[in-house]
């Protein structure tokens, strides 16, 4: 039977292949602008090297199209990881091949090697059997700690584990933590359970909304997706971003919700999306020539009250165009309300992506229970989809409390991960 987590795996003297998610943003000079995903992998890496294992890390970066591209090299990641670990992290010249085999063969216990971008090989995303076998040949054990790609059936996330077999595979601390928080929130929520959904498109969140309607007590809607619901209510939305083809679906969701879905009662509108835009607040219809860019003050008050009263909060998607100062009040207020709920004993989870970027921008990421590292993965998890890269029995044990004494998670410390 597969090992559950890395802490239970006999890593001493072993070559441990670790799929991490180092797909971090870089500026034009190749400098890392947000290292959260690297930092999130440190507990798993340290567990391996501190116990005498050899950590061989695999990751992708960006979307290279035709083989190796210098701008997508993991070289800056290797350097930064070395600084965080306070030890040398060697970057392999490739992810497979004789030179890589030689470098791995020369590793000593406690060493760390980062393989070059797996997506420099088109076989990665195709889960090519030969490429997966070459990767698997580099290690004795395999640990998946890349939650952000756990919903992708690629060679380094799926094929390698398949090649090594169940007895030599497991998950890292990050995936353990993600599954515990998200799983507990969705399956064992302390109530009231409030879900906050924003972003541009209803179509991106249909399955999430449908799944949450059976679990959450209240679903707060913000962002441009609200304007499709406005159309479903017979309101006008001016030039606001919306999906006219999804209006009937929005009507069906509102009917199915039975009052669980709350929509904005007022909107911040403008004729342009700029840092100097002249704004005003409207209730109901949005006039022609104007666009909705944020929730208004009355909505902020209603939503904030609901959030503060909650005992479980899951947030995915901003309330408006928070990157522009005239339209960031809604997202900022929601972020503060979520932190207040945390202070009141609620479990608060930020579902990655733009929500994670927003709460980081406002300097509040340390004041919530958990910020997910996987935007798309978090969404698919909230939809109720399984993860092909993680055995279902592992997911079930992590979600349903086997690692926390059968009790729902009530605080970040309850995971026992850090």
Q: Does 353 qualify as catalytic in the annotation?
A: yes
Active-site residue among 4, 14, 37, 205?
37
pLDDT single digits (tens) 6-19: 999 999 999 999 99
Cis preceding-peptide flag for 173 (omega within 30 of 0): no
Q: Based on the fold, state whether residues 233 and 189 are members of the same structural domain.
A: yes
User: What is the percentage of the chain residues whose pLDDT exceeds 90?
Assistant: 75
Determine the pLDDT at residue 401.
46
Q: Which residues pair with 286 in a beta bridge?
A: 237
Active-site residue among 201, 235, 251, 308?
201
Residue 408 is classified by DSSP as P
- For residues 208 and 315, the answer to whether their CB atoms sit within 8 Å is no
Nearest-CA neighbor of 19 among 152, 109, 179, 181?
Answer: 152
**What is the domain range of residue 70?**
6-171
- For residues 174 and 144, the answer to whether their CB atoms sit within 8 Å is no
How far is residue 313 from each of residues 2, 221, 245, 309, measured CA to CA in Å?
32, 13, 30, 10
The sheet that has 280-283: what strands, in order across it? 280-283, 266-270, 291-295
Nearest-CA neighbor of 359 among 327, 328, 326?
Answer: 328
Q: What angle do CA 175, 158, 356 make, to 5 degrees?
A: 35
Give dist(CA 21, CA 42) in Å, integer.
Answer: 11
Give the confidence band of 165 by pLDDT, cuts at 50, 70, 90: confident
pLDDT single digits (tens) 285-343: 999 999 999 999 999 999 999 999 999 999 999 999 999 999 999 999 999 999 999 99
Q: Based on the fold, state whether residues 189 and 302 are members of the same structural domain.
A: yes
Q: Based on the fold, state whether residues 368 and 350 are members of the same structural domain.
A: yes
Q: Does 386 qualify as catalytic in the annotation?
A: no
Domain finish residue from 121, 150, 171? 171
Range in 22-31, 70-79, 146-155, 247-256 the model is least confident about: 146-155
Determine the pLDDT at residue 404.
34
Q: Based on the structure, what is the number of domains in the chain?
A: 2
Start-to-end CA distance of the chain, whole Å, equals 26
* CATH of residue 280: 3.40.50.1260
Q: Does 3 qualify as catalytic in the annotation?
A: no
Residues 6+ apart with CB under 8 A from 10: none
Nearest-CA neighbor of 57 among 31, 78, 88, 36?
Answer: 78
Active-site residue among 62, 82, 137, 376?
376
Q: Based on the fold, state whether residues 299 and 342 are members of the same structural domain.
A: yes
pLDDT single digits (tens) 366-390: 999 999 887 777 877 887 776 766 7
Q: Which residues pair with 5 in a beta bridge?
A: 171
Q: Based on the fold, state whether residues 264 and 367 are members of the same structural domain.
A: yes
Q: Based on the fold, state whether residues 219 and 236 are members of the same structural domain.
A: yes
Active-site residue among 296, 353, 374, 375?
353
398 part of a folded domain = no
Q: Based on the fold, state whether residues 165 and 33 are members of the same structural domain.
A: yes
Interior/surface letters 133-170, b for 16+ CB within 10 angstroms, e for the rest = bbbbebbbbbbbbbbbbbbbbbbbbbbbbbbbeeebbb
Give dist(CA 377, CA 390) in Å, integer.
Answer: 12
């Amino acid at each position: 039977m597969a090992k559950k987590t890395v802490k239970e795996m006999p890593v001493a003297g072993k070559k441990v292949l670790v799929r991490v998610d180092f797909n971090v943003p870089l500026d034009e000079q190749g400098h890392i602008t947000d290292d959260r995903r690297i930092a999130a992998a440190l507990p798993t890496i340290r567990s391996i090297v501190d116990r005498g294992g050899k950590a061989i890390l695999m990751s992708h970066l960006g979307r290279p199209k035709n083989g190796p591209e210098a701008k997508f090299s993991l070289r800056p990641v290797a350097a930064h990881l070395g600084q965080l670990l306070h030890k040398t992290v060697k970057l392999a010249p490739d992810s497979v091949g004789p030179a890589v085999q030689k470098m791995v063969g020369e590793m000593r216990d406690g060493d760390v090697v980062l393989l070059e971008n797996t997506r420099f090989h088109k076989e990665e995303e195709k889960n090519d059997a030969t490429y997966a076998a070459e990767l698997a040949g580099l290690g004795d054990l395999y640990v998946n700690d890349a939650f952000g790609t756990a919903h992708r059936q690629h060679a380094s996330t799926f094929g390698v584990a398949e090649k090594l077999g169940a007895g030599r595979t497991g998950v890292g601390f990050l995936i353990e933590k993600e599954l515990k928080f998200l799983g507990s929130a969705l399956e064992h929520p302390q109530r009231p359970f409030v879900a906050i959904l924003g972003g541009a498109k209803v179509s991106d969140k249909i399955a999430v909304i449908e799944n949450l309607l059976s679990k959450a007590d209240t679903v707060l809607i913000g962002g441009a997706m609200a304007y499709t619901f406005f159309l479903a209510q017979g309101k006008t939305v001016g030039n606001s971003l919306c999906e006219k083809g999804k209006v009937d679906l929005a009507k069906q969701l509102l009917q199915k919700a039975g009052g669980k879905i709350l929509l904005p009662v007022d909107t911040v509108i403008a004729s342009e999306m700029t840092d100097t835009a002249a704004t005003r607040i409207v209730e109901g219809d949005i006039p022609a020539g104007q666009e909705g860019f944020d929730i208004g003050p009355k909505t902020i008050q209603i939503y904030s009250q609901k959030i503060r009263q909650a005992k479980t909060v899951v947030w995915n998607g901003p309330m408006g165009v928070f990157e522009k100062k005239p339209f960031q009040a809604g997202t900022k207020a929601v972020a503060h309300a979520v932190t207040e709920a945390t202070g009141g004993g609620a479990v608060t989870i930020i579902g990655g992506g733009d929500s994670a970027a927003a709460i980081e921008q406002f300097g509040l990421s340390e004041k919530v229970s958990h910020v997910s590292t996987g935007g798309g993965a978090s969404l698919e998890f909230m939809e109720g989809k399984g993860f092909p890269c993680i055995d279902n029995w592992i997911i079930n044990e992590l979600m349903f409390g086997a690692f926390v004494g059968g009790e729902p998670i009530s605080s970040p410390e309850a995971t026992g991960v850090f």
